[in-house]
Chain A
Amino acid sequence: MVSEPLRDTSESGSIELVERIRSIPWLVWVVAGFGLVWVSTRLSGEIQFPSEVLGISTTIPLADWTNSAISWMTTEFDAIFDAITRFILRRILVPTEKFLIGIPWQVFLAVVGVLGWFSTRSKLTTLTLVLLMAMIGSFGYWELAMITLAIIIAAVFLSLLIGLPLGILAAQSQRFDAVLRPILDGMQTMPAFVYLLPAMFFFGLGKVPAVIATIVYAVPPLIRLTTLGIKGVSPAAIEAAESYGATRWQILRDVEMPLALPAIMAGINQTTMMALAMVVIAALVGAGGLGLEVLLALNRLDTGRGATAGLSIVALAIIIDRITQGFARRYEESIK
């Protein structure tokens, strides 16, 4: 007992010494580096980034490359883009929109009420959600809201189709995760206007490029949360399934996915909210709906119109958020 603390101090003393020795060259390097920079500035007299160094151009012509790549792809893969456009439009967007617009408003309100009640079990919340939906109608935006909702549903559905497999793959493979992560970072931080252009080139004007741009912006949280959810599944449960001879696929289906579902549902919620945040930008390429109302209000400096259209988007967001979160919470509690 006596020798322990003694050895401890001698050890920590030697560590301190090593650190001190290490810290000296580090500081010397920084000072020397700054000195060198200062001397070179003095000698050349230049402080702006040079367009050429020693006769070699320093310009990276990425802009030209991108333009030629996009135009090459637009012509070469025209058929593929066309097929995708037609599929999304005819199989997903148009039927969804027709269906939503075709629902009588009384039925729609009733559905909101029932979903609200079963997800939250709160009379006040349910009533609020129904009233918010009615508010959109009272603003005269019922049909526009349905158009927007159709785009959101299409974008979230396609996000699930893309995001779930990628999220699952990233949870299985460390390497895939490492590659995917910076791409997702880029998708989330790249200004939406930037990829709106190629989306327009590839998929034309209208709702399809809007849906594609929305997916690019909204899918990353779903992928991340799917990965996080699967990685967070208790190893004990996986081990138990494994010990009973479950295959990799059976473990994914019976254990990992159900236990990651709360996280995945949070991802779906996030994706939906981000898709709603995209409706105005999507309207720029011709998505229509509530986003277009906001754009028109902006053009005509009509604050009132902007406020009602904006509030309708917020109302839609609150309705979807409360219902999806309510279901997520109820499921999470049931598996605790």
Chain B
Amino acid sequence: MEARGEREDAILSVRNLNKVYGEPEHVAQAIRLIEQGASKEEVRATTGAVVGVRDVSFDVYRGEFFVIMGLSGSGKSTLARCLIRLVEPTTGAILIDGEDIARADQKSLREVRRTKLAMVFQHYGLLPHKTVYENVEYGLRTRGVKEEERREAALAAIERVGLAGWEESRPGSLSGGMQQRVGLARALAHNPSILLMDEPFSGLDPLIRRDMQDEFAALRAEEAITTIFVTHDLDEALKLGDRIAIMRDGEIIQIATPAELVTNPADDYVARFVEGASPARYMTAAQLMEHEIPTIPLGASITEATEYFNDRNVSAAFVVNDQNQLAGVLTWWAVAKRSGGTVADHLAPAATTSPTTRLEDIVPLAVESDHPVAVVGEDNQLIGAVRRLDLLQTLAQELEDDGLNGRGEELSSNGYAPTADQSELEAQINRTAIGD
């Protein structure tokens, strides 16, 4: 396990978790072997016991999107199921808010399941004889929430996943994507501290899967629910995850952010895994943005703004208030030949994105706008901007990496590719934009 500093805000801590299948005496022997460092295959050869999860430790932090990823048979689903004790862990600790789930008795386990965890299943796990509404409120029903409260939470959750109007349908009459929305709504209505998702989108066809990923990302942007997400799909992991744990043979072999995983894989296995991953998928706005961006205070007069544009030879600037909150974008031609009033009267809405947004989702914004895409944090704080040229260069890099080197050279020999005099080219492209 990699070394890292203890963080205060761990909501879930897993320590030395093992799951071994087999006869009791073989399992005991297997655990001893694992403690001595034996691999899954060595344990199987010696004892005949099958190792599902081998000495796994990790922390998940409040609000984090933690992805457990691996190929089939890597133990990722077993691990996720251990966390909610649908699979009984053999040894180890699972701490949620300091309470060890692995050792909880039936009663306290039920309490944890009723208040802290909610699971979304690959095969939905809906109750076919209940309506969508009844399915969504089921979790609340088990813990005896009052009818009125249940109704409010369930309807809100149904609304959030976009199933309003389907409350009285039965799951059997819905498509796979819609059934999984029901599963998701049920989990959201439960209002858990941690959302466990076991390959929730794997059973869906690619287009629906993408929609669901995007919608789920949007949902989490509204409210950062701590999520543990199991998948075998690298693109999905890179796109959604704050951190990714890669599993093989029941072990976690690396835990890292998507970008770290690609640029600094722990071993050949991970390297081969992430080979060919598109930067558009895993790189975020925060990684690419410029921090030093020209801004004009909201209270500035038109004359001041015009002077600002002329002094810096730029044609647009973000306008912020005194708390550095983004108000909009001001262009040179909006204020040209005017003199009265303040900049507030001539603002245009700025293209904005969040720091964790992936590049592929910024591209459409960049195409639509005539200025860099503003990166805003909480409370609309302006923290940076992604310039279109940077975006282009990163994506061009990917094309080269994809074995289009020949074409890249051809382009550069024609003088179109960003080569020697980059700043000049940049200046040309960004002539009408903020920056230099």
Q: Decide if B142 touches A246 in the complex (CB within 8 Å).
A: yes
Q: Residue-by-residue, is B269-302 near A (CB-CB < 8 Å gives 1, otherwise 0)?
A: 0000000000000000000000000000000000
> Contact partner of A241 among B115, B123, B127, B129, CB < 8 A?
B127
Tell me the complex Cα distance, A334–B126, Å: 14
Q: Decide if A254 touches B138 in the complex (CB within 8 Å).
A: yes
B190 closest partner in A (C-beta)? A244
- The smallest C-beta distance from B180 to any residue of chain A, in angstroms, reads 13
Q: Decide if B190 touches A334 in the complex (CB within 8 Å).
A: no
Tell me the complex Cα distance, A242–B125, Å: 11
Q: Residue-by-residue, is A244-256 near B (CB-CB < 8 Å gives 1, otherwise 0)?
A: 1111001000110
Q: Residue-by-residue, is B103-119 near A (CB-CB < 8 Å gives 1, otherwise 0)?
A: 00000001111110111
Q: Decide if A239 touches B142 in the complex (CB within 8 Å).
A: no
A257 closest partner in B (C-beta)? B129
Interface residues of B in 111-157 (CB under 8 A from A): 111-115, 117-119, 121, 123-129, 138-139, 141-143
A250 closest partner in B (C-beta)? B142
Determine the chain A residues whose CB is within 8 A of the CB of B112 once the complex forms.
Answer: 245
Q: Decide if A241 touches B172 in the complex (CB within 8 Å).
A: no
- The smallest C-beta distance from B340 to any residue of chain A, in angstroms, reads 63
Tell me the complex Cα distance, A336–B110, Å: 29
Interface residues of B in 137-194 (CB under 8 A from A): 138-139, 141-143, 170, 172, 186, 190
Q: Which range contains the number of B residues in contact with the other chain?
A: 20 to 34
B172 closest partner in A (C-beta)? A336
Q: Would A245 and B113 be within 8 Å (CB), given that A239-B86, A254-B138, A334-B170 are in contact?
A: yes
> Contact partner of A245 among B114, B123, B124, CB < 8 A?
B114
Instruction: Tell me, yes or no, whether A243 is within 8 Å of chain B by CB.
Output: yes
Q: Decide if B127 touches A245 in the complex (CB within 8 Å).
A: no
- The smallest C-beta distance from B178 to any residue of chain A, in angstroms, reads 16
- The smallest C-beta distance from A80 to any residue of chain B, in angstroms, reads 38
Determine the chain B residues whose CB is within 8 A of the CB of A245 once the complex forms.
Answer: 110-115, 139, 142-143
Instruction: Tell me, yes or no, whether B84 is within 8 Å of chain A by CB.
Output: yes
Tell me the complex Cα distance, A261–B129, Å: 10
Q: Residue-by-residue, is A130-165 near B (CB-CB < 8 Å gives 1, otherwise 0)?
A: 000000000000000000000000000000000000
Instruction: Tell me, yes or no, whether A204 is within 8 Å of chain B by CB.
Output: no
- The smallest C-beta distance from A31 to any residue of chain B, in angstroms, reads 40
Instruction: Tell me, yes or no, whether A237 is within 8 Å of chain B by CB.
Output: yes
Instruction: Tell me, yes or no, whether A18 is within 8 Å of chain B by CB.
Output: no
3 closest Cβ contacts across the A-B interface? A240-B125, A245-B114, A245-B113
8 contacts between A and B (CB under 8 A): A236-B125, A240-B126, A243-B117, A243-B125, A244-B118, A245-B111, A245-B112, A247-B142
